[in-house]
Amino acid sequence: MTTNEEAFDRARRVIPGGVNSPVRAYRSVGGAPRFLTSARGAYVTDVEGREYVDLVASWGPAILGHAHPEVVKAVQDAAGRGLSFGATTPAETELAELLIARLGGGTEAGGLVDEVRLVSTGTEATMTAIRLARGFTGRPLLIKFAGHYHGHSDGLLAEAGSGVATLALPASAGVPEPIAAQTLVLPYNDLDAVRTAFEAHPGDIAAVIVEAAAANMGVVAPLPGFNAGLTELAHEFGALVILDEVLTGFRVSAQGYWGLETSYTPDLVTFGKVIGGGMPLAALGGRREVMEHLAPVGPVYQAGTLSGNPLSVAAGLATLRLADGAVYDRLYHVSETLQREVSAALTAEGVAHTIQRAGNLFSVLFAEQPAVNYAQVQAQDAYRFGPFFHAMLEQGVALPPSVFEAWFVTAAHDDEAIERVVEALPMAARAAAQA
């Protein structure tokens, strides 16, 4: 049998850091990342045959749990008909119609989007949305918020969350200064800062991009009225709002985080993760007037050999059709139970903490007071997370390997899976206390 250490040593010789995405490395918690060979329901299995209750859920897509039989069957059936055609398929239209219907049936009906373009990754979705916003407004600058992550395109890595936060990088090397200078990074949840930025750059800001609820610096919900106020401000200054629902979309509710608020209408919205059901698929959508600036109708170019891939679309359609009210009820039940139990275990050991939540997303902040922005998140006792993480892992619970990531539950987390997590918590809380 291959040991995990052997798998890691072998991988490190041929893959930088042994991982194909830095968030999979255990850089901030230490040790070798687990090499997985299979996943089913609420569980993942590593190369040594050890099974873990999984609270990563592929970083969000797996809301039904891993390898749901109906999703797997849909993908197998699609595969039998051909892996990729490089041509349009009826299923893409079906998925677009389903997304639009679930999001309120078009903007004239008070819904979120009129048209969507399918791409393969969240990075492409946000990158294209920004290009589209620039093409539509004819303006160069972009506002993003510190600690928000929107994928790894050049202009979006300044003070980004996710792996950029975990590795404590201020930005990425390799991004030319003139490109970085097109992005204004502001503190989250601070509308005054947004107004000041708009006033300082009159007529130059194309768009504001914002996570619908921040979940890549740990979870930091928008303050009540923040997303609506942001939209109002952007529109006052003639800029677009790009609501990034790649992580939150179709996870925190059937209509994403927007569905929990609905008091504003962003101009563009990006989706990913859940809409591909675990396969590479993402999308951007918006009102018709803006979306029709995309090629081939309009002058803003975007393309993809594997865009709208039939296997991905099949997985997405099957997942969204199965994600009914009972699924969302279960996600909330699992999330709220875990929030309560984690907090109780940490309290019992006297560990200062706050459960940060947005919908059914949550994370543990090792600080007494809640955080509303990246600076406050960075000021927590982050050193407590590594020992907590490893104590959970040793007891068969796989958490996201960074304090700057959300915990992801699935509807397949049954009472037994929850119990396994709960049983592991006292020892992990003790480890955090002794850190």
Instruction: List residues near ligand PMP by CB under 6 A.
Output: 59, 121-123, 126, 149-151, 162, 211, 216, 244, 246-247, 272, 282
For residues 422 and 432, what is the distance between their CA atoms, to the nearest angstrom? 16
- Rg (alpha carbons) of the chain, rounded to whole number: 21
Question: Per-residue DSSP letters for 333-358?
Answer: HHHHHHHHHHHHHHHHTT---EEEEE
For residues 168 and 186, what is the distance between their CA atoms, to the nearest angstrom? 18
Residue in the structure block whose two tokens are 């996710």: 162
Q: Of 216 and 360, which has the nearer Cβ to ligand PMP? A: 216
For residues 240 and 249, what is the distance between their CA atoms, to the nearest angstrom? 19
Element (H, E) at 6: helix 4-14
Number of helices and strands in the chain (H, E): 15, 13
Residue 431 and residue 387 in contact, taking contact as beta carbons nearer than 8 Å: yes
Looking at 26, 52, 149, 264, which residue is catalytic? 149
Q: Of 20 and 138, which has the nearer Cβ to ligand PMP? A: 20
Closest separation in Å from C-beta 280 to ligand PMP: 8
Closest separation in Å from C-beta 162 to ligand PMP: 6
Closest separation in Å from C-beta 406 to ligand PMP: 9
273 is catalytic: yes
Looking at 188, 244, 267, 374, which residue is catalytic? 244
Establish how many alpha carbons lie within 13 A of residue 330's alpha carbon, considering only the half-sphere containing its beta carbon: 19
Q: Of 33 and 387, which has the nearer Cβ to ligand PMP? A: 33
Q: Of 65 and 161, which has the nearer Cβ to ligand PMP? A: 161
Q: Of 15 and 297, which has the nearer Cβ to ligand PMP? A: 15
Closest separation in Å from C-beta 250 to ligand PMP: 13
Closest separation in Å from C-beta 216 to ligand PMP: 5
244 is catalytic: yes
Q: Of 120 and 343, which has the nearer Cβ to ligand PMP? A: 120
Cα-based distances in Å from 322 to 54, 58, 104, 329: 20, 18, 18, 13
Output the CA torsion sign for 170, 174, 178, 180: negative
Closest CA to 247 of 121, 389, 73: 121
Residue 246 and residue 122 in contact, taking contact as beta carbons nearer than 8 Å: yes
Comparing every residue's Cβ against ligand PMP, the nearest one is 122
Closest separation in Å from C-beta 142 to ligand PMP: 14
Catalytic machinery residues: 149, 244, 273
